[in-house]
Amino acid sequence: MKFIHYLEKITGVSIFPLTSFVIFSLFFLVMLIWILKADKNRLKEISRLPLD
Amino acid sequence: MERFYYDNKIVKYFGYATMLWGVVGMLAGLYAAIQIYAPGTSMNFAPTTFGRVRPVHTNAVIFAFVGNCIFTGVYYSLQRLCKTRMYSDKLSWIHFWGWQLIIVAAAITLFLGYTTGKEYAELEWPIDIAITLIWVVFGINIFGTLIKRREKHIYVAIWFYIATWVTVAMLHIVNSFEIPVSFLKSYSWYAGVQDALVQWWYGHNAVAFFLTTPILGLMYYFLPKAANRPVYSYRLSIIHFWALIFIYIWAGPHHLLYTALPDWAQSLGTVFSVMLIAPSWGGMLNGLFTLRGAWDKVREDPVLKFFVVAVTCYGMSTFEGPMMSLKNVNAIAHFSDWVIAHVHIGGLGWNGFMAFGMLYYLVPRLWGTSLYSKKLATNHFWLGTIGIVVYAIPMYWSGFTQAQMWKTFTEEGQLKFQFLETVTHIIPMYITRSIGGALYLTGAIMMVYNLAKTIKKGSFIANEAAEAAPLVKEKSAVREYWHRVIERKPMTMLVVSLIVVAIGGILELVPTFLVKSNVPTISSVKPYTPLELQGRDIYIREGCYTCHSQMIRPFRDEVKRYGEYSKAGEFVYDHPFQWGSKRTGPDLARVGGKYPHSWHYNHMLDPQSMSPGSVMPAYPWLLDNKIDTASTPAKIRAMQKLGVPYPEGYDQEANKDLMQQASQIAAGLKLDKISTPKDAEIVALIAYLQRLGTDIKAEPKDQSAKN
């Protein structure tokens, strides 16, 4: 039941933070690329949704 | 074209609840504010002391006022953005009444002293379960509505709603892990440093995902609506959304700078907090720029006035927040009134004004009429704005002043001010603050009157007719961008948001739980005795943590004033942790042995007799109430389950030890000519207070060098 010291038993545990950092960076990269490439008219159309 | 009807009745009810709980929550806040300079107003009555009124205030304004405001806005905008009625009227009503019942149960239990002792998560386990169930009902209703929508795209406001729903669910569940001891008593699953980390991961993200993201959703819907023009940049709103939810989740540890939390976690919190400026200001500018070329409307329309100040306050507090997470700034801000000023810029300015603006927008439309008095609304706007200023400036002032006084040394190297002197010095600021709060509350009451008059002259449109074409399943010949796929599929969106927030949560929490070196053990730190444990539960019940910290930071003045700085290993048996976040009274981490038993006894009976000028309320009932010894075995068993090393079968012997220790304390009091029954609650509380911070003193010297 005690919630401590489990991680020490996992081998190669250092890969977790590295993987997470890569996911984190990739996420922003992909988001930025998508935003820059997105179709302007479509965005315009969506942004008018509350008004119609 | 299909004809259908929007459900306005549920919006009306949530709107009413927003107004009711808004006034109630602000009233509780005002009462708590007055108690700080007039402790006699607690009337020596347990339910009305500051330690219980303050959680009622925070819970009422966050979960009752802002909660109902969110639901009002979501139920109104979601139907219209999806061009459909809510998925199920029945679920809507279960949600409404369930939430109101939770609020009432919360208020009653908090007044009665049933609390987990964790800020903004004080509610006991049966209510926690009820919250989870009602939250699931809300979720089914949202996603059901999204599935039957007639609009292909999911507008950005809805993304914010989805992220809110999923993250609040995750935060609430993780932070509420607790072992029930009885029907209304439980112990946090986590202890000490780990409990603190989970709590502030929760606490900060409650600010992020309950007070910020849903309100941003409302901003992205109601601001363009009120200004009658689309949002300034939809691209920016997408960046705003993803960056905000990804970064926010990491920022929690900035509440624990200079504490016993491992250094790497503190730095992580600081870095992400500073990064938060970017998406927050992106969002603020997106809101304000939406009004470009429409500023003439702001002069006319009270709704836009409220929105403009709300968004500006959002910008101010999201600039201030990252600044406060810099360690050198935090050294001054933390534990002082600066934090109170900061949260009220957010609470009164951002949340309150968004709620007011939205209500002024909705009520005339729901009742098919115009606002009863625009002038009254404008007056409310000015009164509220002045109220915020009169509230915040004295709190900034007192925060700086007190923090400076705490840190001032004489030329001889002695602390220049007693703690109490630093409190009595800022009492004028506390009085001014309550005037600011009263002005703000008066404004809110004016709004209720104005809207009641509006409602009276209109007639309610319970079911608003609308028409839209059904959604046809289209097959695209060209490959679509991934984001278009996500943005059309609510479930995918839910999963992606969950992954995004869970990565941050896991990375932040897991290492502290699992890596041994993060919490160095101290061999002399032992579990609490049964009497101390009961005393600790009284400490929690009375909400002592709302004014007293138990965390000495490694500063010259704090070490001088309170003793050796706090170590992570000292808190390993603290379920829950009681570090506190505000020092209206002095730190208690090492109060053990500082005063005789009789001092504590007299101080609880009449604090001003022991420290003249003190603003602490009296706790006379502790002298009469009996210790609930029947609960001792269950408490010991619960602690054993959580890993506290009491010997096997100790639950049956605990009360014997409890009575023995109580007799000793009663005998000690007798020497000072105080006679008390040994089973009075005061005896348990004295036992706990005398234990605080003393374990480490028993530690052999060579061992402390190793740590």
CATH of the domain at B366: 1.20.210.10
Checking if the pLDDT of B542 tops 80, the result is yes
Q: Are residues B548 and B413 in the same domain?
A: no
Residue B476: band (very low, low, confident or very high) from pLDDT cuts 50, 70, 90? low
Can you give the pLDDT at residue B706? 43
Q: Which two tokens stand for residue B399?
A: 């925060």
- How far apart CA B42 and CA B40 sit, in angstroms, is 5
Chain B hits for A8, Cβ within 8 Å: 514-516
Task: Give domain status of residue B69, yes or no.
Answer: no
Cβ contact, residue pair A8, B224, below 8 Å = no
- How far apart CA B188 and CA B177 sit, in angstroms, is 6
Q: Are residues B535 and B665 in the same domain?
A: yes
A29 and B CB contact within 8 Å: no
Closest-CA residue to B618 (of B115, B41, B53): B41
Can you give the pLDDT at residue B486? 64
DSSP string over B423-438: HHHTHHHHHHHHHHHH
Can you give the pLDDT at residue A17? 64
Q: Are residues B553 and B627 in the same domain?
A: yes
Ramachandran category for residue A5: left, alpha or beta (phi over 0 → left; psi -120 to 50 → alpha): left
Higher pLDDT, B701 or B161: B161
Cβ contact, residue pair B243, A28, below 8 Å = yes
Cβ contact, residue pair B246, A27, below 8 Å = yes
CB B644 within 8 A of CB B181: no
Q: Are residues B356 and B461 in the same domain?
A: yes
Domain membership of residue A24 as a residue range: 15-51
- How far apart CA B431 and CA B438 sit, in angstroms, is 11
Chain A hits for B198, Cβ within 8 Å: none
Last residue of a domain, one of B426, B445, B469: B469
Task: Give domain status of residue A1, yes or no.
Answer: no
Can you give the pLDDT at residue A38? 83
Instruction: Name the residue facing A1 among B235, B237, B643 (closest C-beta).
Output: B643
Last residue of a domain, one of B454, B469, B484: B469
Mean pLDDT of B8-25: 98
Can you give the pLDDT at residue B502? 79
CB B142 within 8 A of CB B161: yes
B221 and A CB contact within 8 Å: yes
Q: Which two tokens stand for residue B698?
A: 């028993």
- Give chain B's domain count: 2
Chain B hits for A41, Cβ within 8 Å: none
Instruction: Judge if the upstream peptide bond of residue B364 is cis by omega within 30 degrees of 0.
Output: no
User: pLDDT digit string (tens) for B617-660?
Assistant: 999 999 999 999 999 999 999 999 998 999 999 999 999 999 99
Can you give the pLDDT at residue B308? 97
Domain membership of residue B537 as a residue range: 530-706
Chain B hits for A23, Cβ within 8 Å: 503
- How far apart CA B196 and CA B193 sit, in angstroms, is 5
Higher pLDDT, B467 or B516: B467
B187 and A CB contact within 8 Å: no
B243 and A CB contact within 8 Å: yes
Can you give the pLDDT at residue B707? 43
3-class DSSP state for residue B318? helix
A26 and B CB contact within 8 Å: no
Measured CA distances, B519 to B262, B308, B473, B582 (Å)? 8, 46, 56, 24
pTM for this prediction: 0.93
Cβ contact, residue pair B515, A7, below 8 Å = yes
Q: Which residue in chain B has the smallest CA separation from A4?
A: B514
Q: Which residue in chain A has the smallest CA separation from B496?
A: A27
Cβ contact, residue pair B230, A51, below 8 Å = yes
User: pLDDT digit string (tens) for B170-204?
Assistant: 999 988 889 999 999 999 999 888 899 899 989 99
User: pLDDT digit string (tens) for B66-118?
Assistant: 999 999 999 999 999 999 999 999 999 999 999 999 999 999 999 999 999 99
Task: Give domain status of residue A36, yes or no.
Answer: yes
Closest-CA residue to B620 (of B42, B107, B54): B42
Checking if the pLDDT of A8 tops 70, the result is no
Nearest 10 degrees: CA dihedral of B171, B173, B178, B181? 130
Q: What is the 3-state secondary structure (H, E, C) of B96-122?
A: HHHHHHHHHHHHHHHHCCCCCCCCCCC
Can you give the pLDDT at residue B478? 56
Task: Give domain status of residue A10, yes or no.
Answer: no
Task: Give domain status of residue A2, yes or no.
Answer: no
Higher pLDDT, B321 or B520: B321
Checking if the pLDDT of B501 tops 90, the result is no
Q: Which two tokens stand for residue B623?
A: 């002298």
Higher pLDDT, B469 or B402: B402
Can you give the pLDDT at residue B705? 44
Rounded mean pLDDT of chain B? 92
Percent of chain B exceeding pLDDT 90 equals 81
CATH number at residue B583: 1.10.760.10
Q: Which two tokens stand for residue B627?
A: 């210790």
Burial of B336 (0-12, 13-18, 19+ CB in 10 A): buried
Residue B485: band (very low, low, confident or very high) from pLDDT cuts 50, 70, 90? low
Can you give the pLDDT at residue B427? 97
Q: Are residues B460 and B580 in the same domain?
A: no
Chain B hits for A5, Cβ within 8 Å: 514-516
- Give chain A's domain count: 1
Mean pLDDT of A12-38: 78
Rounded mean pLDDT of chain A? 75
Can you give the pLDDT at residue B481? 57
Q: Which residue in chain A has the smallest CA separation from B76?
A: A50
* Residue the block writes with tokens 């896991």: B506
Cβ contact, residue pair B238, A35, below 8 Å = yes
